[in-house]
């Protein structure tokens, strides 16, 4: 499956998504906004995939917003910011928030620059594996703006508020080690694609229903009242126990010689 500015290849139930504007360091123009929105929505509907790995072609994962391209037409701004109601995601936000809605692990494999809009996109993932020489930045302050592409949802989960304010107010560029200290990075690796694939396969070895349930449980309840977390724990656990994949998981643990295979995940 190929969308403009973004390519998708599915191998062994893992979707490999690549930003494909290497000549512009994968800077985000309107075509890429629409392509990422379309691809992420399509993957959310695919019950057969078990993981998603997102990376970028060329020297950089994503250098940020293609300001000249996007700002040259005022209609682009209206298209990016329009939303039906205040609490919904607009197009600018969906390129980050859509990854949170895909009921499989979404792993970002980051190299080179991951700046501005690129950082916002990556914050929508469940994991960020970063090359040791990569640089990261919440860069909107340099343009007199605030980060408004949905990444703030993840920031409040990942890091203390004072650190988030520092990055968002200064727009400074940090290296991989600093990003790990801030909580923005899951792993630093010398071989980012291999590390991303290793993590994807490790998670794919577990029940697709339990993985989907953990993602939804944590994403929707992490910062809410404890009673909501407790209620959803019980509800999701019951749904899993009544499904077929939990029985497969038991067989895999107690009788691995039977080589039972997981079925397509339930809808979460």
Distances (CA, A) of 77 to 4, 21, 37, 60, 168: 20, 21, 16, 25, 21
**pLDDT one-digit tens code per residue, 179-236:** 999 999 999 999 999 999 999 999 999 999 999 999 999 999 999 999 999 999 999 9
Q: Are 96 and 123 in contact (CB under 8 A)?
A: yes
pLDDT of residue 268: 87
Judged on CB neighbours under 10 Å (0-12, 13-18, 19+), 192 is: buried
Q: Phi first, then psi: what are they for 19, rounded to 5°?
A: -75, 130
pLDDT of residue 2: 42
pLDDT of residue 238: 97
pLDDT of residue 72: 86
Cross-strand bridge partners of residue 135: 113, 175
Distance CA 51, CA 43 (A): 10
Query: Which range (69-78, 95-104, 175-184, 191-200) has the least confidence?
Result: 69-78
Q: Are 52 and 9 in contact (CB under 8 A)?
A: no
User: Across residues 86-108, what is the average pLDDT?
Assistant: 96
Q: What would the two tokens of residue 147 be?
A: 């980060």
pLDDT of residue 242: 95
Residues 2-203: name the CATH superfamily: 2-enoyl-CoA Hydratase; Chain A, domain 1 (3.90.226.10)
pLDDT of residue 163: 96
Distances (CA, A) of 163 to 156, 190, 264: 10, 26, 40
State whether residue 237 is helix, strand or coil: helix
Distance CA 173, CA 250 (A): 47
Q: Using alpha carbons only, give the angle 44, 49, 51 rounded to the nearest 5 degrees.
A: 90
Residue ranges per structural domain of the chain: 2-203, 207-258
**pLDDT one-digit tens code per residue, 26-69:** 999 999 999 999 999 999 999 999 999 999 999 999 999 999 88
215: left (phi over 0), alpha (psi -120 to 50) or beta: alpha
Residue 1: which pLDDT band, with cuts at 50, 70 and 90?
very low
Q: Round the average pLDDT of the chain to a whole number and report it.
A: 95
What crossing angle do the helices spanning 226-241 and 245-254 adopt, rounded to 10°? Answer: 80
Q: Phi first, then psi: what are they for 55, rounded to 5°?
A: -140, 180
């Amino acid at each position: 499956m190929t969308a403009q500015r973004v390519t998708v290849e599915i191998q062994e139930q893992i979707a490999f998504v690549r930003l494909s504007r290497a000549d512009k360091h994968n800077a985000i123009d309107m075509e890429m906004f629409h392509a990422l929105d379309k691809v992420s929505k399509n993957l959310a509907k695919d019950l057969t995939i078990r993981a998603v790995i997102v990376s970028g072609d060329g020297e950089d994962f994503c250098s940020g917003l293609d300001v000249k391209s996007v700002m040259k037409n005022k209609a682009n701004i209206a298209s990016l910011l329009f939303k039906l109601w205040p609490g919904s995601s607009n197009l600018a936000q969906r390129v980050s928030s859509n990854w949170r809605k895909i009921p499989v692990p979404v792993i970002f494999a980051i190299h080179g620059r991951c700046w501005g809009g690129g950082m916002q996109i990556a914050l929508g993932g469940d994991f960020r594996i970063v090359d040791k020489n990569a640089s990261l930045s919440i860069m909107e302050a340099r343009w007199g703006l605030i980060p408004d592409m949905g990444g703030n949802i993840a920031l409040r989960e990942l890091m203390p508020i004072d650190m988030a304010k520092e990055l968002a107010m200064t727009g400074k560029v940090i290296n991989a080690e600093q990003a790990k200290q801030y909580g923005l990075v899951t792993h630093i690796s010398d071989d980012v694609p291999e590390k991303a694939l290793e993590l994807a396969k490790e998670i794919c070895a577990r029940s697709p229903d339990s993985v989907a349930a953990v993602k939804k449980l944590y994403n929707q309840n992490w910062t809410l009242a404890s009673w909501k977390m407790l209620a959803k724990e019980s509800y999701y656990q019951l749904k899993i126990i009544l499904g077929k994949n939990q029985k497969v998981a038991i067989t895999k643990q107690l009788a691995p010689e039977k080589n039972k295979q997981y079925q397509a995940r339930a809808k979460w």
